[in-house]
Amino acid sequence: MVTMNQLFRLLVLVTVCSSLAIAASTTAAPAKKDAPAAPAVDTSKYKTGGCCDKAEKAGKPCAHPCCVKAAKEAKVCEKCNPAAKEAPAPAKEAPAPAKDAPATK
Ligand SMILES: [Zn+2]
Ligand SMILES: [Zn+2]
């Protein structure tokens, strides 16, 4: 036999349970993140005045094949944008050989 007291307790239980379920579902389901994360290129790595830097300022990607390839991999072309060194190192690459003709002036 169901008394009013039992019925009331059942009602409270159901209310608590459903409110808990709602709370759980709202906290368990965070904001939807269905926007695909586009590969972000670190434009700060662009060499100032470089081809990519100029293109970026013009609002378009650099057209250099090497830069396009790097951009596809969400990278910055290392060929055109060498990593900035701490110290201003002098030209480490060997200068063009067989060009030691003295400047004639
Ligand atoms: Zn470039
Ligand atoms: Zn490049």
Residues 25-49: pLDDT tens digits? 666 666 666 766 666 778 888 999 9
Give me ligand 1 centre to Cα 92, in Å: 21
Strand (E) or helix (H) holding 13: helix 4-28
Give me ligand 2 centre to Cα 96, in Å: 21
Q: What is the pLDDT of residue 66?
A: 97
In terms of Cβ atoms closer than 10 Å to its own Cβ (0-12, 13-18, 19+), residue 85 is: exposed
More confident residue, 72 or 32: 72
More confident residue, 9 or 2: 9
Question: Which range, 4-18, 32-46, 57-71, 78-92, is most confident?
Answer: 57-71
Give me ligand 2 centre to Cα 8, in Å: 74
Rounded Cα distance between 48 and 65, Å, is 19
pTM for this one? 0.44
Rounded Cα distance between 76 and 61, Å, is 11
User: What mean pLDDT, rounded, does the chain reach?
Assistant: 79
Give me ligand 2 centre to Cα 84, in Å: 15
Which of 39, 34, 65 lies closest to 52 in space, CA to CA?
A: 65
Give me ligand 2 centre to Cα 79, in Å: 5
Within its chain, how far is the Cα of 102 from the centroid? 50
Ion ligand 2 residue ranges (Cβ < 5 Å): 64, 66-67, 77, 79-80
